[in-house]
Amino acid sequence: MKDSSCLILKFLLLGLIGLYALIGTDNTIADNQELDIRGNVAFQLRGFIQDALWADQNSSDVESSISGEWEVRWRSEDNSQRVSFIPFARWDENDDKRSHFDLKEAYWAYKNGEIELLFGVNRIFWGVTESVHLVDVINQTDLVEDLDQEDKLGQPMISLALQKDWGLLSFYLLPYFRERSFPGVNGRLRAASPVDADNAKYESGNKRKHLDFALRYSHYFGDIDLGLHYFNGTNRDPRLGVGANNSDVVLNYDQMEQIGLDLQYTRGSWLWKLESFVRDGYEESFFASIAGFEYTFYQVFEGAGDVGVLLEYQYDNRSSYEAATSADNDVFIGARWVLNNMQDGSILAGVVVDNKTSEAFYSIEAESRLKEDVVLELQVRLIAHSEPGESFHPFSRDNYIQLQINRFF
């Protein structure tokens, strides 16, 4: 089964590369006002600084993977209809769970005046903060892509949006649940016990087919951007349990209700940010919030770029039997440098520190354009001062430096 899955993924990636060979140097289709076809192929190298902590993990210091994404977007001449189709595939040389395929988007949308109706698979992003996106509850996290939980799986949905002078009101029906992806037994960045993703437990008798519902209102009031939401359905964050043989981690997906807000206030060089929610879930209700700011210094270093300084505080008061979170009493400090050069260079560096234990998670992300259609990315993830029982200890020997080169077409 593993060999056949890898063969399928390799075939998909070769197909993407072949598509690039056919249209990568011809912009005739991409320049058409109604049809836009583009994509990218990426080669990734991860170098781990230390040996793996757990048995059965891959012992190689360097691992490679190849990924490809193809974007097909169409819109009608009167802009009343649009279609989006974005498949994604990755092949990883060591972790069969990280070798995967996903439909990020595959939808048809129809707009008539102030109303837009959408059917299919889509990605919806809510939130304003940098270190954690508390209110981003529609799509499931694709954890095998990156530990930072920024990557999301496509979510099947029917959505209806109403745009009025007083704001945007959006309704979402979510008829099918996507389970969270986790690294396999041989993969790095996993817990001590492998996750038994094939035997997840659900509070709802409908399991994956439970009909979830969400509602969101968003608008701006002067310098304030405001979003309010309500969600009722299957919790995207699984509660972790112990399997029957006491050697595997079992995922429990509970039902929940959540009311939350995201707010951003812009004043000159200042961005003040807030995300908060109240969630009623497994045996208790709890409150979580993240608040902070970003201040930008423009044209620093004799016009070499803009530097933003970020500070955020993370709070969560849930008990130990709720879904695990590291953002319960933590501070994030970071800096963003956007270079004013032909290469569109940028660097984002930051650290999250636990106020109770001093456990720290360091992150660096940088990218620069080598050519018009080639981008080089650098990523560093480091965990420090982590002791057994703390949030990041299972990954404490998985510090890595990653290089990725992207070829766009």
Q: How many residues does the chain have?
A: 409
Q: What is the pLDDT of residue 40?
A: 96
Q: Where are the beta strands (DSSP E) in 205-345?
A: 212-221, 224-234, 239-242, 249-253, 255-267, 270-280, 285-299, 305-316, 329-339
- Amino acid (1-letter code) at residue 181: S
H/E stretch holding 22 reads: helix 2-23
Is 233 exposed, middle or buried, given 0-12, 13-18 or 19+ CB atoms closer than 10 A?
buried
How does pLDDT run across 93-129, given as a tens digit for each residue?
Answer: 999 999 999 999 999 999 999 999 999 999 999 999 9
Q: What is the pLDDT of residue 101?
A: 95
**Cβ atoms of residues 156 and 121 within 8 Å:** yes
Sign of the C-alpha dihedral computed for residues 352, 353, 357 and 358 taken in this order? positive
Residue 16: φ, ψ to 5°? -65, -40
- Please name each of the domains of the chain with its CATH number: 2-408 (2.40.160.10)
Among 347, 406, 324, 365, CA closest to 40:
406
Among 180, 159, 181, CA closest to 170:
159
Among 137, 366, 368, CA closest to 261:
137
* Regions of the chain with pLDDT less than 70: 1-33, 244-247, 319-325
Strand 224-234, strand 212-221: pairing: antiparallel
Q: What is the pLDDT of residue 26?
A: 46
14 SS3 class: helix
**Cβ atoms of residues 284 and 318 within 8 Å:** yes
Is 207 exposed, middle or buried, given 0-12, 13-18 or 19+ CB atoms closer than 10 A?
middle
Beta carbons within 10 angstroms of residue 304's beta carbon: 13
The verdict on pTM exceeding 0.95 is no
Sign of the C-alpha dihedral computed for residues 240, 328, 126 and 281 taken in this order? positive
Q: Where are the beta strands (DSSP E) in 147-223?
A: 155-164, 167-174, 195-202, 212-221
Q: What is the pLDDT of residue 399?
A: 94
